[in-house]
Amino acid sequence: RRHTRFKCDWSSDVCSSDLLLGRRYMAAQSFSSPQGKFMAKERTFSIIKPDATRRNLTGAINAKIEGAGLRIVAQRRVKWKQADAKKFYAVHKARPFYKDLVKFMTSGPIVIQVLEGENAVAKYRQVMGATNPANAEAGTIRKEFAESIKANSVHGSDSPENAKKEIKMCFKAKDRKSTRLNSSHT
């Protein structure tokens, strides 16, 4: 094996070897809450979309994420090429908004993230709010920040299975070559 294995404290901020080693560690990890309670840990994949980075809302959105008790364990600002967006949203290929969505997601920089916490997938969907900001609940990211049903500021995985796929798709290859995640920040 070419990668280094790092000693992992599951209550700590970042465990890079988890990301690097992939699925093996993704499933049944757990961590301690600040109160010392043993909790089931889950990860989800998040994107801060171009409409939000353009308006300098990365920090405001991250504050919502952290305020909900989710931990940002990986984060990178990137600009997607057409092929990246097409691949990521391939499930929506047949939908009438697909082309426009790909164009939007490549219109500016995005911030890709891995969020971790108890029930992270469902919790983040709740913090995001409904796809259409007009239908989103008060206090959600989309209600407060989204511009439209398309430019709705954030993406969040819709199931733990898709979270794993999306994290692998967006982080693995690049981060294997990177040392950026190779520290625990504790």
Residue 71 C-beta-side C-alpha neighbours within 13 Å: 17
Listed in sequence order, the residues at least 6 apart from 48 whose beta carbon sits closer than 8 Å to its beta carbon are 57, 58, 61, 110, 111, 113, 153, 154
Task: Report if residue 101 touches ligand IDP, rule: CB under 6 A.
Answer: yes
> With CB under 6 A, what is the number of residues at the site for ligand IDP?
9
Listed in sequence order, the residues at least 6 apart from 54 whose beta carbon sits closer than 8 Å to its beta carbon are 108
Task: Report if residue 62 touches ligand IDP, rule: CB under 6 A.
Answer: no
- Closest to ligand IDP by CB, 78 vs 173, is 78
Using CA atoms, how far apart are residues 50 and 3, in angstroms rounded to an integer? 33
Catalytic annotation, residues: 155
Among residues 71, 143, 150, 172, which is the contact residue for ligand IDP, using CB under 6 A? 150
Which ranges constitute the DSSP H helices of 89-172?
A: 98-105, 120-128, 141-145, 160-167
Among residues 54, 97, 139, 159, which is the contact residue for ligand IDP, using CB under 6 A? 97
Contacting residues toward Mg ion, per CB under 5 A: 158
Least spacing, CB of residue 154 vs ligand IDP, in Å = 8
Task: Report if residue 159 touches ligand IDP, rule: CB under 6 A.
Answer: no
Q: State the DSSP code for 5.
A: P
Please calculate the CA angle 66-140-136 and round it to the nearest 5 degrees.
155
Least spacing, CB of residue 8 vs Mg ion, in Å = 30
Least spacing, CB of residue 5 vs ligand IDP, in Å = 35
Q: Which residues bind ligand IDP (CB under 6 A)?
A: 92, 97, 101, 131, 149-150, 152, 155, 158
